[in-house]
């Protein structure tokens, strides 16, 4: 639509909104003139061309990504000469054992996984799993309680007892507490 094609009789339209920001598209309650509409449309064209020039995003692609489910739904594991799918929702945490990644399920079954903990972390939804330290990636539903520990660390008590202490490194304490609170 060309700005010149706008009907000059805009007083019957009413009021427009005007934004204070430089790339705002004029939205503060006030009556407006033809020049205001032309300026607003020019800003829209400028912003659109800025995104196209910089190739910042494609709206359709972005909406498709947002609609896509996030996170891996299951992991294929090999145990007792069989391949088994372990649902992500059944996983309490991942940890490192003998330099391999291991799944610990809520039913206390363990499975070795061929992926690194870093790859697994990337594949899982951030809201559901958190990397508390270099060795553990824990499910939100596996956290029973958290308590302060020596040297400004946190001790995570899972919903079932385990031999090891699940410690949140002091560098990740505030990020971990924010993750717990972000529900």
Say whether both 78 and 63 belong to one domain: no
Say whether both 60 and 117 belong to one domain: no
Q: Long-range contacts for 40-43 (Cβ within 8 Å, ≥24 apart)?
A: 40/16, 41/1, 41/3, 41/6, 42/3
Q: Name the residue range of residue 22's domain.
A: 3-67
Say whether both 31 and 95 belong to one domain: no
User: What DSSP character marks residue 140?
Assistant: G
Domain endpoint, select from 67, 93, 120: 67
Say whether both 129 and 109 belong to one domain: yes
Say whether both 11 and 59 belong to one domain: yes
Exposed e or buried b for every residue in 108-142, given b needs 16+ CB within 10 A?
Answer: eeebebeeebeebeeebeeebbbbbbebbbbbeeb
Say whether both 174 and 97 belong to one domain: yes
- Tell me how far apart the terminal alpha carbons of the chain are, to the nearest angstrom: 44
Give per-residue pLDDT as tens, 141-175.
Answer: 999 999 999 999 999 999 999 999 999 998 999 99
Say whether both 137 and 163 belong to one domain: yes
Q: How many domains are contained in the chain?
A: 2
pLDDT at 71 over 70: yes
Give the CATH number of the domain where residue 163 resides: 2.40.50.40
pTM: 0.61
Give per-residue pLDDT as tens, 9-31.
Answer: 444 344 444 445 555 555 555 66
């Amino acid at each position: 639509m060309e700005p010149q094609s706008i009907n000059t009789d805009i007083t019957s339209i009413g009021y427009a909104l005007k934004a204070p920001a430089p790339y705002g598209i004029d939205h503060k309650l006030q009556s407006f003139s033809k020049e205001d509409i032309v300026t607003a449309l020019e800003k829209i064209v400028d912003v659109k061309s800025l995104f196209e020039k910089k190739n910042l995003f494609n709206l359709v692609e972005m909406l498709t990504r947002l609609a896509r489910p996030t996170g891996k739904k299951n992991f294929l594991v090999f145990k007792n000469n069989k391949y088994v799918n372990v649902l992500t929702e059944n996983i309490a945490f991942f940890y490192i054992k003998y330099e391999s990644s291991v799944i610990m399920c809520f039913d206390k079954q363990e499975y070795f996984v061929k992926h690194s903990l870093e790859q697994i972390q990337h594949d899982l939804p951030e809201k559901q799993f958190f990397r508390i330290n270099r060795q553990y990636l824990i499910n939100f539903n596996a956290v029973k309680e958290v308590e302060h520990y020596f040297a400004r660390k946190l001790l995570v008590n899972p919903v079932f007892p385990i031999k090891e202490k699940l410690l949140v490194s002091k560098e990740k304490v505030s990020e971990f507490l924010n993750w717990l609170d972000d529900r």
